[in-house]
């Protein structure tokens, strides 16, 4: 029986246009993919999707939205028409307007994890805020670098600030918090909390690394599962096992598991696309 090869993730995503048509970005040729209401959409050879205002007079598409979605084992970078850059982690969806023209705010909707470098933008001399709506919260900025982790299977939504200032607001309660660089907010069922964190660890995924510092093994394996598109089965109780260390995301999964096995004093076995964890 042939052994199943488990490969690391790569630049894979699907783009859904305003008319409902769907483009597989890893299969599409490089170059211009589409044109909508004065906006051209281009795919580059290094895995980026770039929205450019081609016709300023026509770039007023009203309520036209596009959605980019990465599968398990996928990632992608997109440059929005305002110049903001977004990096999407595996199993992530971002919904955004085709253009921000004639809008009072730049609002996008996120499910999963993404890193944002938001460009400053003024309309009629007034700074236009950039808002990321995710699970139970909104993050409002004017121009800054930050990361949002909002996976639906996590117990919290985490926002980490690297540069600038952001306001994180709960949607179910009249509470908000202002983050400073190096701070992370965590929204759970009980509310919003703040703490200082290692920002390098928070955005390691964007820089091609798995990086952990006393993280529960079960949380680490969620990240591995999403990136390598594998199922994880536990034979025993690992709730007290924590992991520290770093390893490239683009290496063979066996190397990743070897690092985790050494750090957590556990054993791993692969069967097809399943990873079995045992004492």
- Dump pLDDT digits (tens) for 76-118: 999 998 999 999 999 999 999 988 877 788 999 999 999 999 9
Mean pLDDT of the chain: 92
In percent, how much of the chain has pLDDT > 70?
95
- Dump pLDDT digits (tens) for 187-233: 999 999 999 999 999 999 999 999 999 999 999 999 999 999 999 99
pLDDT score, position 62: 62
CATH architecture assigned to 208-278: 3-Layer(bab) Sandwich (3.55)
pLDDT score, position 258: 95
pLDDT score, position 57: 57
Please determine, for residue 277, whether its predicted confidence score (pLDDT) is greater than 90: yes
Give Cα separations from 88 to 4, 45, 130, 192, 241 (angstroms). 27, 17, 17, 24, 29
- Dump pLDDT digits (tens) for 142-176: 789 999 999 999 999 999 999 999 999 998 888 89
In percent, how much of the chain has pLDDT > 90?
79
Distance CA 52, CA 44 (A): 13
Other C-beta atoms closer than 10 Å to the C-beta of 274 total 13
Which CATH code of 1.20.1530.20, 2.60.120.1440, 3.30.230.10, 2.40.30.20 fits the domain covering 10-202? 2.60.120.1440
Least confident of 31-35, 46-50, 122-126, 271-275: 122-126
For the chain, domain boundaries: 10-202, 208-278
* Predicted structure pTM score: 0.93
Please determine, for residue 121, whether its predicted confidence score (pLDDT) is greater than 90: no
Question: Do the Cβ atoms of 109 and 139 come closer than 8 Å?
Answer: no
pLDDT score, position 59: 52
- What do you get for the CA distance between the two ends of the chain, in Å? 27
Please determine, for residue 61, whether its predicted confidence score (pLDDT) is greater than 60: no
Residues whose CB is less than 8 angstroms from the CB of residue 69 and which lie 6 or more positions away in sequence, other chains included: 13, 14, 16, 92, 93, 94
Q: pLDDT class for 1, splitting at 50, 70, 90?
A: very low
């Amino acid at each position: 029986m042939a052994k199943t090869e488990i490969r690391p993730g790569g630049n894979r995503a699907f783009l859904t246009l305003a008319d409902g048509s769907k483009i597989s970005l890893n299969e599409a040729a490089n170059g211009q993919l589409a044109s909508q209401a004065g906006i051209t959409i281009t795919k580059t050879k290094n895995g980026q999707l770039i929205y450019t205002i081609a016709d300023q007079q026509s770039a007023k598409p009203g309520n036209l939205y596009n959605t980019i979605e990465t599968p398990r084992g996928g990632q992608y970078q997109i440059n929005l028409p305002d110049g903001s850059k977004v990096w999407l982690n595996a199993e992530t969806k971002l919904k955004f307007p085709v253009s921000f023209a004639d809008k009072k705010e730049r609002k996008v909707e996120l499910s999963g994890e993404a890193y944002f470098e938001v460009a400053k933008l003024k309309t009629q001399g007034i700074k236009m805020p950039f808002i990321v709506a995710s699970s139970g919260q909104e993050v409002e900025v004017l121009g800054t670098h930050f990361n949002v982790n909002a996976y639906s299977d996590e117990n919290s939504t985490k926002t980490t600030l690297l540069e600038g200032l952001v306001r994180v607001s709960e949607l179910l309660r009249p509470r908000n918090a202002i983050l400073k660089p190096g701070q992370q907010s965590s929204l759970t069922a009980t509310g919003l909390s703040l703490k200082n964190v290692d920002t390098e660890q928070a955005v390691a995924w964007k820089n091609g690394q798995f990086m952990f510092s006393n993280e529960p093994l079960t949380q680490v394996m969620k990240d591995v599962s999403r990136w390598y598109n594998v199922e994880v089965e536990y034979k025993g109780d690992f709730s007290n096992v924590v992991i520290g260390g770093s390893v490239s995301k683009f290496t063979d999964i066996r190397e990743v598991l070897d690092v985790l096995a050494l750090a957590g004093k556990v054993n791993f076995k692969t069967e097809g696309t399943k990873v079995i964890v045992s004492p």
